[in-house]
Amino acid sequence: MIDLAIIGGGPAGLTAGLYATRGGVKNVVLFEKGMPGGQITGSSEIENYPGVKEIKSGLDFMEPWQEQCFRFGLTHNLREVVRVSKCGNMFKVFCSDGTDYVAKSVILATGGRPKRTGIKGESEYWGKGVSTCATCDAFFHKGKEVAVLGGGDTALEEAIYLTKFASKVHLIHRRDGFRAAPITLEHAEKNEKINFMVPYVVEEICGDGKEVTSLKVKNIATNETSTLDTGVIFVFVGYEVNNGILVQEDKSMLCECDKWGSVVVDLDMNTSVPGLFAAGDLRVEAKKQVICAAGDGATAALSAIDYLETTHAAPYLEAEHKL
């Protein structure tokens, strides 16, 4: 019997584990199939986390988190969770190896991932000039020309943001039209630093083996190819949340999600299912920053503690028996 099951070992999950165990929850289990740390461990440089003055790689940055968050009794379970379901006021956690667990409450912190394009050179230079976070990396390219790939709201909003740092922003989109909101497109078109490259595609991301040095682009209307000299390309072609564990046997979702699959929560990280919480990039309107995910994790843990104290203060043997 698990008091609190945390699914996902990134900043949100680890912080939730820290606050829950330190807050007195006795049996807290973090399910993470690999080493905890999350998506941020793939970042080459982090310098915007308050209180950490050194510039660190994502891997080095997350290393002390593990020691601190496990200090108060958090248990790490290396199994992969494939589904979570609700039965009465209890949850069942199903793992890929056939092992099942019963939990009084669950925090979902499975995160998400930016969609990749498959462009030649993208994987090789991921985190070395291929970025999906303008907030994280814009400062490193201050006064330089940068490229943005995409045609939705995020791509245009990030392109506008990048003009605060870059000398010029080349916005590359394969279509003449944009999926972004008209007002966002209008703001981008009025920004003199943004160079619209439509209809263009990126054929290859080139580099010197260490970092990006240029892009090979093609005008798909004329088939003319050219080279764009830039040391970075910000890719915004979509984001996928890791919500597969919410899919039930009848194909319904365990809790309410928006049209993109992000989990709907309130300010306390409560989902539509009592006892089920969501934190970090999985939830709606997530800012996809480490500090925001950590804040979500702390909030979710505090809410879970309140839930456990009010809902499971009485004996739960009957619910156990039904499972």
User: How many CB atoms within 10 Å of residue 46?
Assistant: 19
CATH classification of 2-114+239-322 is 3.50.50.60, yes or no?
A: yes
Which residue in 205, 45, 41 sits closest to 139, CA to CA?
45
Distance, in Å, from the CA atom of 92 to the CA atom of 43, rounded to the nearest integer, reads: 34
Is residue 204 helix, strand or coil?
strand
Structure confidence at residue 42 (pLDDT) = 65
Q: For the residues of 85-132, what is the DSSP string, one character each?
A: EEETTEEEEEETTS-EEEEEEEEE---EEEPP---BTTTTTBTTTEES
Question: Using CB atoms within 10 A of its CB, is residue 320 exposed (0-12), middle (13-18) or buried (19+)?
Answer: middle
- Give, in order, the Cα–Cα distances in Å from 147 to each of 77, 153, 173, 293: 41, 16, 11, 27
Question: Using CB atoms within 10 A of its CB, is residue 249 exposed (0-12), middle (13-18) or buried (19+)?
Answer: exposed
The pair of three-digit structure tokens given for residue 85, joined into one six-digit string: 């379901």
Structure confidence at residue 318 (pLDDT) = 39
Q: What is the pTM of this model?
A: 0.76
Amino acid at 122: E
Which residue in 271, 234, 23, 30 sits closest to 132, CA to CA?
234
pLDDT block averages, 10 residues each, the chain of length 323: 96 97 96 83 77 87 91 95 95 97 98 90 94 87 96 90 96 92 93 97 96 97 96 92 96 96 97 98 92 97 96 53 41
CATH classification for the domain delimited by 130-235, as one of 3.40.50.1220, 1.10.510.10, 3.50.50.60, 3.40.50.2000: 3.50.50.60
Residues of the chain with CATH 3.50.50.60: 2-114+239-322, 130-235
Distance, in Å, from the CA atom of 246 to the CA atom of 64, rounded to the nearest integer, reads: 30
Structure confidence at residue 314 (pLDDT) = 47
Distance, in Å, from the CA atom of 192 to the CA atom of 185, rounded to the nearest integer, reads: 13
- Catalytic positions, written as ranges: 133, 136-137
Structure confidence at residue 321 (pLDDT) = 37
Distance, in Å, from the CA atom of 166 to the CA atom of 185, rounded to the nearest integer, reads: 19
